[in-house]
Chains A and B, each alone.
Chain A
Amino acid sequence: MLRNVHLLLGLFCSCFVLMYAFSSLQMSHNSWFPTKPIVTESQLKLPPYLDARAASRLLMDQGLRGEMMQVKLSATNIQFRIQRPGTVYEIAYDLQSGQTQVKTNRVGLVGMLNRLHHINGLRHDYALLNLWSSALLFTSLTLIALGLTGICLWFKFHKERFIGGVILGLSLIYGLGLILLMRSAS
């Protein structure tokens, strides 16, 4: 039963775990995996004197998908972003004329994995992000379950009990020990 749980959870979440692992490597070695975005610019015309939310809704209707963020208001224009993992639209909307400059920053696969790694929260306006968060929540619970079921499965392996016990003991002393030492530093 435990073995089946370990196997099924591991298989289901393998792609998500690989996403976390590769993106972690990218963050540790960002010179190995450049994540420079491709930048394009375009212009759109919106009705004048809209507020940020109305302007962003119109832009989203025109295909700019994501969540609105980082709104900056001035007397003559509104600047904000519409973003989703991997794509950021930087918007500059002129209040008087409705002229809207859209600067699109889009990253490749490696950049995407980096942004997916950083998804958090379950209450986004953009529903797709909530789906991602739910999948990643399940993956995080799976990591804990894999660790715990893995320990139980190891223990059932009589041949590996001694060496495994030494490895587990040393790793817990080292890992948990460092956590305690760091946390208690003052």
Chain B
Amino acid sequence: MNKNPSEHDALSEPLYQVVFNDEEQYSVWPAHREPPSGWQRDGYTGTKRACLTRIAAVWRDLRPLSVRSTEGLASPASSVGR
């Protein structure tokens, strides 16, 4: 009989891991590969879609860390990338 399509997709799709760099910028990387230098694992592994969903949940401020920390007068409510 027919396979459940989502089941099938989940089984055959490549797996990724969530990674982030020193500026706390997030991305994804193939799960079975070591992240490139300067990138660390966040610990989450799944399909690309699932990893991006996870990122949407954890990456709340898109400003690079260096800009966040030097920020002086900014009014946080309207900062770019948040």
A and B are interacting partners: no
